[in-house]
Structure 1
Amino acid sequence: MKNKVMLTAAVTGAGETTDKNPHVPVTPKEIAESAIASAKAGATVAHIHARDPKTGGISHNIDHYREIVDRIRESETDVVINITSGGGGDFIPSLATPAAGGDGTDMQTPAERHQPVGELLPEMCTLDCGSTNFGNMIYLSPTDWLREQAKLIQESGVKPELECFDTGHIRFAKQLIQEGLIDGDPMFQFCLGIPWGAEADTETMLYMKNRLPDNAHWSAFGIGRMQMPMTAQAAMLGGNVRVGLEDNLYLKKGVMARNDQLVEKAVTMLHNQGLEPMTPQEAREQFNLRSPHKGGA
C-alpha cells in the first residue's frame, strides 16, 4: 500500500449549501447516487449525512439513512460507507434563553447520535473529538459524552475516524486510545480551515501529524478554496485525503462542482504525485474494517 491513498468523498454534509449549488444531493436517492458516482470516479469511501428531502436541512431520521445505505449496498458499485455520528450537536447561543439555546439549536444524546451507526453497521463512522466554535454556533461534544459514544462504536465493531477540528482534539483522542476505547490502529482526520478551528496550512497539518501515536493512520481536508491544496499536501506527507461538496462547492472559481468531478480532480492530483486511490477492498484489508455485509465482522 506504499503508493496507495484512501480517498473519501464527503458528498453532502449538513450545512446550508443546497441553495448555493444545485448539485448538492438532498434526497436519499440523490445522496446514494452521488456516492455511487463518486466511487465510479475513484473514491474509496463515501462519507454520508442524511438530509430532510422536504427542507434540505439536516435529518436524524434513521429511515433516511437506511435508504441511502441500502441503495449503495444494492448497487453494483463497491464503496466503503462512512456514516457521520456527529448528529445533533448544534448549540445556538441566545441571551434570551442561554441555558436552552436559541432558534436552530439541535442537540442529541450520545445514544441518539450513534443510532444510524449502530443499526446500519457501516464499515466506518466519524467521531468528533471535542467541542468547537463553528462561526457563531457552538458544536457541543463533551468529553464524557464522547467516551460513551466511543464505547458504543467499539461495541458495534465499526471503525471510528477520529475527527480533529483543533489541536486539543488530538489530545483527547489519544486519551480515548489510552483508556482502551479505540481498537486497533487508530484513524485520525484533520478538519482544517473551519472558523474557528485549526488553520488550513502546512504548518498546522505537520503540527497535528507529529502528535499522533506511532501506529496511527491519518487523513486531512481543507474547506472552500483550500480543499485541493490540502489534498495535495496531505498526500505528499503520507496521509489520506478527502474531497466533496460537504467541504467545497466549486470545481474552480465561478464553476459549481459535482462530487464526481471533485473526485476526478483529486485522482488526477494523486496520479501527478505517483499515487493511486485505494480500492474499497484494499481499504478494508489495510484498516481492518468490518465486512460490508450485514452481520459481518
Structure 2
Amino acid sequence: MNRSVILTCAVTGAGDTTGKNPNVPVTPKQIADNCIEAARAGASVAHIHVRDPETGGISHNIDHFREVMERVRESDVDIVMNITGGGGGDWMPDAQDPSRGGPGTDMQTPAERHAPVGELLPELCTLDCGSLNFGDMVYINTADWLREQARMVQAAGVKAELECFDLGHVWFARQLQKEGLLEGDPLFQLCLGIPWGAEADTETMLAMRNKLPENANWAAFGIGRHQMPMVAQAMLLGGHARVGLEDNLYLEKGVMATNGGLVEKASTIIENLGGRIMTPAQTRAALKLVDPKTGKPVEGGDQ
C-alpha cells in the first residue's frame, strides 16, 4: 500500500460535458480558478486542457494555456502544473468517404500537440501511449508520432506522464524507455473505464501495474462512478490517484460535483485508509521535477 499519495485533479477535459454540469470550467480564468480551488482543497497536481470560451468545445489555443498558467503561478497557492500533450487525435470517418475525417475529427501533428508544452514549460505533460477505440471515435497516436513527441518533451526538460489506456500502451511506453526517450524514473497514469480501453476493475489495474518497469512511479484513475473506487484501489496497490471533472461529473448519485469537492472526497478516502496527500513541494521532490521558480530539478525533501 502507498501511504504518501500524489493526488492529481484533472479540472476540465475536451469532452462534451459543459452542458451536463455547470461547474465544468470553460474560460481560461475559470480553469485557472479551478486549479487554485483544487490546490486549496489539497491536490498535488492540476492537469489541464483548455476550451473555446465561446462554445465550450475543444481548443488548442496556446494563449488560453498561457493565461491559465500565468494566473495559477501568480496566485497565492502552489500546485504542480500538468499540460495535456494529447490533443488533436480524434478521428471520425466521413460517412460517404471513410478515407476522410468527418464531423468530430480533430487532428494535430506532434509538433502542434507539443507547442504549449514547449513554450510554457510546465513541470509535467501527458504523453498518450497508443491508439484505441475511444467510445464511437478512434483516438490516433501512431508509434512514430509518439516517438517524435517524446523527443520534443525530452528536449524541453519536461517530465512526461505516460497515459496508458490499455495494456499494449504500457508495452509501448517500456519501448520508449528502452530507446532512451524517457528521462529518469518514468511516471505512468493508468486510464481505466473508457470504452473501449482498459476496464475499471482490480484485475485490470493489477495486470497493468505488473507490467510497469521496476523503477516506475504510477497513478490510476477511473471515469464516472468508478472514480472513487479506483482512488482507493490505486492506493492499496501502491500507486497514486487522480480525480476531477474531466473524468467524473458527480460527487454522488444526483449531486453535481466541483473539482474542490472531488479532491476533498478523494482526500477523505486516502486519509481513512491511513494515507496522506503529498504537497506540491513533496511531489516535485519525489518525481525529481524542475522547480518552476528556479528552473532546476528538485532533489530530496520530505516525502
Give the alignment's TM-score, normalised by structure 2.
0.96
Following superposition, the deviation at residue 4 of structure 1 comes to 1.0
Provide the residue aligned with 2:26 in structure 1.
Answer: 26
The answer as to whether partners of 1:163 and 1:191 remain within 8 angstroms in 2 is yes
Within a 5 Å distance, the mapping from 1:216-295 to structure 2 comes to 216-293=216-293, 295=295
Letter in 1 for 2:97: T
Provide the residue aligned with 1:67 in structure 2.
Answer: 67
Q: Secondary structure at the match of 1:251?
A: strand
The answer as to whether partners of 1:200 and 1:226 remain within 8 angstroms in 2 is yes
Q: Secondary structure at the match of 1:282?
A: helix
The answer as to whether partners of 2:3 and 2:235 remain within 8 angstroms in 1 is no
Q: Secondary structure at the match of 1:11?
A: strand
Provide the residue aligned with 2:95 in structure 1.
Answer: 95
Q: Secondary structure at the match of 2:163?
A: strand
Alignment deviations for residues 12-52 of structure 1 (CA, whole Å, 9 cap, x no partner): 01100000000000000000000100010010000000001
Work out whether 1:110 is the aligned partner of 2:110: yes
Aligned counterparts of 2:95 and 2:13: Cα–Cα separation in 1: 29
The answer as to whether partners of 2:26 and 2:51 remain within 8 angstroms in 1 is yes
Work out whether 1:209 is the aligned partner of 2:209: yes
Provide the residue aligned with 1:129 in structure 2.
Answer: 129
Aligned counterparts of 1:128 and 1:269: Cα–Cα separation in 2: 28
Following superposition, the deviation at residue 97 of structure 1 comes to 2.5
Aligned counterparts of 1:255 and 1:214: Cα–Cα separation in 2: 40
Q: Secondary structure at the match of 2:50?
A: coil
Aligned counterparts of 1:294 and 1:88: Cα–Cα separation in 2: 32
Aligned counterparts of 1:295 and 1:114: Cα–Cα separation in 2: 19
Letter in 2 for 1:137: M
Work out whether 1:178 is the aligned partner of 2:181: no
The answer as to whether partners of 1:10 and 1:244 remain within 8 angstroms in 2 is yes
Q: Secondary structure at the match of 2:40?
A: helix
Q: Secondary structure at the match of 1:46?
A: strand
Provide the residue aligned with 2:157 in structure 1.
Answer: 157
Alignment deviations for residues 36-70 of structure 1 (CA, whole Å, 9 cap, x no partner): 00010010000000001000011100000000000
The answer as to whether partners of 1:251 and 1:257 remain within 8 angstroms in 2 is yes
Q: Which runs of 5+ in 2 are unaligned?
A: 298-303
Give the alignment's TM-score, normalised by structure 1.
0.98
The answer as to whether partners of 1:121 and 1:294 remain within 8 angstroms in 2 is no
Q: Which runs of 5+ in 1 are unaligned?
A: none
Aligned counterparts of 2:138 and 2:76: Cα–Cα separation in 1: 40
Provide the residue aligned with 1:200 in structure 2.
Answer: 200
The answer as to whether partners of 1:162 and 1:173 remain within 8 angstroms in 2 is yes
The answer as to whether partners of 1:134 and 1:194 remain within 8 angstroms in 2 is yes
Report the aligned-residue RMSD. 1.2
Percent identical: 67
Following superposition, the deviation at residue 95 of structure 1 comes to 3.2
Q: Secondary structure at the match of 2:95?
A: coil
**Deviating 4+ runs (over 6 angstroms):** none
Following superposition, the deviation at residue 96 of structure 1 comes to 1.4
Q: Secondary structure at the match of 1:155?
A: helix
Provide the residue aligned with 1:188 in structure 2.
Answer: 188
The answer as to whether partners of 2:132 and 2:196 remain within 8 angstroms in 1 is yes
Q: Secondary structure at the match of 1:185?
A: coil
Aligned counterparts of 2:53 and 2:78: Cα–Cα separation in 1: 25
Letter in 1 for 2:75: S
Q: Secondary structure at the match of 2:34?
A: helix
Following superposition, the deviation at residue 3 of structure 1 comes to 2.6
Aligned counterparts of 1:75 and 1:37: Cα–Cα separation in 2: 11
Aligned counterparts of 1:161 and 1:137: Cα–Cα separation in 2: 23
Q: Secondary structure at the match of 2:226?
A: helix
Count, aligned residues:
297
